[in-house]
Amino acid sequence: MATKLDLYQPDFGRRPYWLALLIAIDQLANAALAGYPDETISSRAHREGWTHVERLIDTLFFWDRQGGVRHCELAYYGELVREHFPVDMSA
């Protein structure tokens, strides 16, 4: 039986510089809130089960979805598959 993670389509392409900066700021904010330094608040909200925060973030990023999987869950899956890791460094 396929899980949502099995259906997830990662994007290992290089992100635009401005998006990488926004993600870095997000990760800094998460680290300042005693979270993992390489995790975004979106991923943490899904992983920690912060329902209200996740709902708010998913509403703000309403366009970011794959089928029924919304932004925070996508961010969490991206962390699991190391989507942000440079392709030339994976081996």
Output the pTM of the full model.
0.85
Burial of 64 (0-12, 13-18, 19+ CB in 10 A): middle
Q: State the Cα torsion 75-71-27-35 to the nearest 10°.
A: -80
Cα distances (angstroms) measured from residue 61 to each of 40, 43, 55: 14, 13, 10
Furthest CA-CA distance within the chain: 39
pLDDT of 1 reads 61
* pLDDT, tens digit (0-9, with 9 covering 90-100), for 41-85: 999 999 999 999 999 999 999 999 998 899 999 999 999 988 877
Segment holding 59, helix H or strand E: helix 51-60
